[in-house]
Amino acid sequence: MAKVTNRMKWVIWALAATFYFYEYFLRVFPSVIIPDLMNVFSVDATAIGALSAFYFYIYAPLQLPVGMITDKYGARRLLAIAAFTAGLGTLLFGMANHYWIAAMGRFLMGFGSSFGFVGMIYICSHWFEESKRGIMIGFANTIGMMGAILGEGPLRIGINLFGWRVSLFVMAGFAFVLSGLIYLLVRNDPPEMKKFDQKTKKSSENLIKNLGIVTKNFYSWLNALVALFFFVTTASFAGLWGVPFIKTTYGISTELAGFAVSMIFFGWAAGGPLIGIFSDKIQQKKNLLLLANAMGFLLMSIVVYISNIPIAMLFILFFLIGFVSSGELLNFSYSIDINPQFAKGTAIAFTNFIVVIGAVVLQPLVGHILDLNWTGQMLGNVRVYPREAYTIAMSCFPASFLIAFILGFFLKKEKLA
């Protein structure tokens, strides 16, 4: 029985991590089909930014209640429904000939994806002993980054071979199969942990009370804003605008630009565990956050304002940007430090909610800045933006690191609660 349970937990963890992988794929895939979308829907960059952000319009507000819902109903059925919904959104997006139908598809993707991170945390906390939960969450985060990588350069290769619609149909089918496997194989708890459900259900009733405690803490807001400005480069540059910027600036193919920008996610995959281990050892979260944002500002300024960087060096720079950006995970640990332990789940959910707002705002804002600096050039039905327009728009990202750095100075080093 023990061997069966041991095998089962790895299968269950793998399915939850795979959905997290799929969630990250959905976040970023529009970055490599921007000209295709402009052509099909006859829209400008502002509309493309808003279309991509439809994913986050529902994802962000759901971060607060989704933990409570998962605690009450368990991960199995919710993840199965979430994967099916995300797949349905992908299918609808792939079929869309009208902007608002694509927006509805993007909205459904965000709705389903909103359960991915929390569901993965739930599985790790219910199926693995406490000493292994951190590393299993870390491994799952790395798998999520692999989904983001797939959604850029490799996806573009598939699109060149089969077209963007067919590629999305394949990924929708993947989600439907994953949904079925989750429903058939995932279990909420090991047999010996059935009593855990009542404890979590009872604690979920305190969400509103805990949210009040967290939001009354000035440093909860300050820390969340630092995390927001820290993360927007990953969400809005790596997640959408980085590929067309590199393609335009260096005159390279979309797939090569996609592979270059995806190095940010490789950096995240490598940096997340290493920075976490180093932070635990030196116990200096504030100083590490300041250092990471200072390095992010420097590295991103090089990328944006120097236009003759060798392509191989760009790959290295993007890896380093991802590596230092993974320090944003420290903001979640810090949110636990500055709030009561009984409210730690709510503190994490609140921080994540604020962080995602950055993508909601920045993705269309960068597109709007591009449109303001458009010179009128068209290629067929697609607007062509000059390098200078991209330079101005991409200035948002070094600026965001700088803002996070400045705000970080006002964080307290000591534990507040």
Task: Convert the pLDDT of each residue in 185-199 to its tens digit.
Answer: 999 888 766 544 445
Higher-confidence position of 89 and 339: 89
Higher-confidence position of 314 and 130: 314
pLDDT value at position 205? 56
Contact 242, 261 (CB under 8 A): yes
pLDDT value at position 1? 45
| Domain layout of the chain by residue ranges | 1-205, 206-417
CA–CA gap between residue 194 and residue 343 (Å, rounded):
23
- Fold observed for domain 1-205: Growth Hormone; Chain: A; (1.20.1250)
Contact 249, 308 (CB under 8 A): no
pLDDT band at 57 (very low <50, low <70, confident <90, very high): very high
Most confident of 54-63, 273-282, 334-343, 344-353: 54-63
Contact 338, 220 (CB under 8 A): yes
Task: Convert the pLDDT of each residue in 100-111 to its tens digit.
Answer: 999 999 999 999
CATH architecture of 206-417: Up-down Bundle (1.20)
Phi, psi of 377 (to 5 degrees): -75, 135
Long-range contact list for 178-183, CB < 8 A, 24+ apart? 178/15, 178/18, 178/19, 178/22, 178/83, 178/87, 179/80, 179/81, 179/83, 179/84, 179/87, 180/80, 181/15, 182/15, 182/16, 182/19, 182/76, 182/79, 182/80, 182/83, 183/76, 183/77, 183/80
Mean per-residue pLDDT of the chain: 91
Alpha-carbon torsion (12, 14, 15, 20), positive or negative: positive
Phi, psi of 390 (to 5 degrees): -65, -40
Instruction: Please check whether the two domains, 1-205 and 206-417, share a CATH topology.
Output: yes
pLDDT band at 148 (very low <50, low <70, confident <90, very high): very high
pTM score, whole prediction:
0.91
Higher-confidence position of 239 and 5: 239
